[in-house]
Structure 1
Amino acid sequence: MTEPTITPLEPMPGDWQRALAVVAHPDDLEYGCSAAIAAWTDEGREVAYLLATRGEAGIDTLAPAECAVLREREQRAGAAVVGVERVEFLDHKDGVVEYGIALRRDIAAAIRRHRPELVITLNHRDTWGGVAWNTPDHVAVGRATLDAAADAGNRWIFPELAERGLEPWNGVRWVAVAGSGTPTHAVDATPGLERAVRSLLEHRTYIETLTDEDPETYARTFLTESAEATGERFGGRPAVAFELFGR
């Protein structure tokens, strides 16, 4: 019996300057792809974060109003560790984000405002690799982001945005999906892995509700094991994987 063929992951494109990462919750990027983001900001690229919610429903022992303030603070701190200064929140409701026109419009507006060549989001499919069920918020935001990348460039979709001074931006060249079960590309995680660990650790309050393990051990183990597993398809180098959709 022959061994299954492992398809190598291609390097991510490098001919871009601005990226916008769009996810549902604080910590989504820290669990997913902050090592890649750290490497990109080191190279002088501009990366901004857009979060659909403030993660206010994420900690059972904290009321949403209190939790939102805490998780926003942790997210801004985590972003700063990997060189991201611009972090915006849309204030959709955590846990009940709805895919639809309102979400697409909000994301399209942000794309027009930031004018990225690369848009990043998180797994928009029903499962994580067919093993675990995904959350409705991830599915809604990921799918809306893929659609909004096109919406942002069409003058006749959401014409009210142009009335607000947000002219169409048809410059998105790729949408990269982190956490996909069918990745196509990867980024060497080595330069940014240590900062990725520290970035995830900025969500300490949230992590402490998830596990009794030491937070640093938890964060380092999770990110290192993920990067090493991806590296098996990327020349043996620890890596962050993406499913890349060109436009």
Structure 2
Amino acid sequence: MTNKIYSSAAEAVADIPDGASLAVGGFGLVGIPAVLIDALLDQGAGDLKTVSNNCGTDGFGLGKLLEARRITRTTASYVGANKEFARQYLSGELEVELTPQGTLAERMRAGGAGIPAFYTPAGVGTMVAEGGLPLRYDGDGGVAVASEPKEVRVFDGEQYVLERSIVTDFALVHAHRADTAGNLQFRGTARNFNPDAAMAGRVTIVQAEEVVREGEIDPADVHLPGIYVQRIVEVGRQETGVEIEKLSSKGEDQ
């Protein structure tokens, strides 16, 4: 059996080249493969094309790669929690494909399942289906590149839009436990986009809080089979510290 265990995050991401596409797990501050992202920041690869829910937050996760101008395009479903993300997008420095959140998850899952495309009702009657969403601004308030219209078909009297699946060069994923065969167990809400991202990557790199021998994870607790995983790094228990994604006072965001 191929050895999937790597001695360090630096070793695991060493061959990610400039221009690579990356599916990245996590949601907000939860389930972020922060150790792998930091290793990639140190490694130096640029012109990256990422696929993730929200492309990190300011100063954390993919937000660090954004601040270093290492990401040139991202497919995401949410922009609002990252001021630098919004600034780069509106100034024309970053190309952004905004995608409904459930559609984004299914596009990654479908890519890993070998499904080239699928129909969904999400986005019918909007710019998601009809085209015209700004992919890149020109820096002066105008749109430099806009999305193209997508195919819409009727099934049983309802309209559905065709969405292409996503397959990326690499995937960066956080897991609670992994065994040496690559079987993964996620913990609580950290499961979020991580299984989908893992499926989408041609080479999936996992930071696991704990690595155990093959067979030590009960089959009923395996959330993703090892066939999707090529590299594993043990990183220990990960804590985001005292960071709070949004502060509120009397029900109003600060």
Whose helix fraction is larger, Structure 1's or Structure 2's?
A: 1
Q: Do both share a fold (TM > 0.5)?
A: no
Larger Cα-atom Rg: 2
Larger RCO, structures 1/2 (Cα 8 Å, 6+ apart): 1
Q: Please state which band the TM-score falls in when normalised by the shorter chain.
A: 0.3 to 0.5
| TM-score normalised according to structure 2 size | 0.37
| TM-score normalised according to structure 1 size | 0.38
